[in-house]
Amino acid sequence: MHQTTFPRLLLASCLGAVIGAERQWRQRAAGLRTNTLVCLGAAAFVDLGSIVAPSSTQVIAYVISGVGFLGAGAIMKDGGSVRGLNTAATLWCSAAVGACAGSGEMLDAIFVTALLIAINSLLRPLARFIDQRSLATFHAHTLYRVRLTCAKEDLMEAEIHLTHAVQARSLTLGKISTEELDDAERSIVQAVVESKTRDAEMMNALTEELRAFPWAESVDWIETEGEAE
C-alpha cells in the first residue's frame, strides 16, 4: 500500500465523522456512520485510482455517480412535500471531502468540511427566518372575486373602468375573464383582486363606484381562496 494512503484515509474518516456528527445531532437519516463511510469510501476509491492510474478523473466521476444513487435513496416524498434533499446533498458533499482527501488535497478536504458544517448549521436559522417571512407575507394577502354584469356591447368599457377602479385603490388585478349569459346579449366580467389587507369597506366602495355607471346591471364581490393568476 502506498505510504500516503493511511493519512489520507484517516483524515477522510475523521472529517466524515465530523460531518456525520452534525447530522446525527439533528436526527437525520444519514448520520454519523453513513457520512463517515461515504467519505472513507470516496477517499479509498480515489486513492486507489491515483495509485493504479496516474489520472483519477474517471474514478472521481464514478464516485460522484455512485453517491448520487445513494443520495437518491435518502429522498422521500411525503404527501405534497419532499424530504431528504439536504441529507442527499450532504452525502454528496461528504463524498467530495473524501475525494479531496483521497487525492492528497488535505487542506481542500478540511476547507470543504468546514464550509459544509457552516452551511448546515449557520444557514439553518436564516432559512427558517426567510420561510417565516414568506409565509407571513403570503397569508397577509387577501383575494377577492368581483362579478360585474353588463350588456355585451358595454363589455370593453366595463373592463376598462374595472381596471381603473382597482388600480386607484392600490390593489392588484389578477385573472380577469368574461362569459356570455344564456340570452347572448349580456356578459359577466369576473376579476380576481389581491389586497395586502382584509378590507370589506374598500371593496364595498369599489363596487359602489362601478354600480354608478349606467351600463352596470349588477356588481358584487366575495372573498375567495382562488389564485390571482
pLDDT tens-place string over residues 35-56: 888 888 888 878 777 766 666 5
137-160 pLDDT, tens per residue? 555 578 899 999 999 889 889 999
pLDDT class of 228 with cuts at 50, 70, 90:
very low
The per-residue pLDDT for 226 is: 56
Helices 85-102 & 32-52 angle (0-180, nearest 10): 40
Band of the pLDDT at 16, cuts 50, 70, 90? confident
On the question of pLDDT at 174 being above 90, the answer is no
Residue 27 confidence (pLDDT): 76
Q: What is the mean pLDDT of residues 84-110?
A: 84
Pick 1 or 200 by higher pLDDT.
200
Beta bridge partners of 189: 148, 178
Lowest-confidence pick of 5-14, 111-120, 218-227: 218-227
Written in H, E and C, the secondary structure of the chain is CCCCHHHHHHHHHHHHHHHHHHHHHCCCCCCHHHHHHHHHHHHHHHHHHHHHCCCCHHHHHHHHHHHHHHHHCCCEEECCEEECHHHHHHHHHHHHHHHHHHCCCHHHHHHHHHHHHHHHHHHHHHHHHHHHHHHHHHHHCEEEEEEEEEEHHHHHHHHHHHHHHHHHCCCEEEEEEEEECCCCCEEEEEEEEEECCCCHHHHHHHHHHHHCCCCEEEEEEEEECCCCC
Q: What is the mean pLDDT of residues 43-72?
A: 73
The CA dihedral of 93, 96, 97, 102, to the nearest 10 degrees, is: 160
User: Which triple of cell numbers denotes residue 224?
Assistant: 375567495
- pTM tops 0.95: no
**What are the structural domains of the chain?**
5-137 (no CATH), 141-224 (3.30.70.260)
Give the tens place of pLDDT for each residue, 115-140.
888 888 887 787 777 777 765 555 55
Sign of the C-alpha dihedral, residues 77, 82, 87, 89? positive
Q: What is the mean pLDDT of the chain?
A: 81
Average pLDDT of span 77-104: 77
pLDDT above 80 (res 178): yes
Residue range 178-187: mean pLDDT, rounded: 82
Mean of pLDDT values over 55-61: 70
Residue 155: partners with Cβ closer than 8 Å, 6 or more residues away:
178, 187, 189
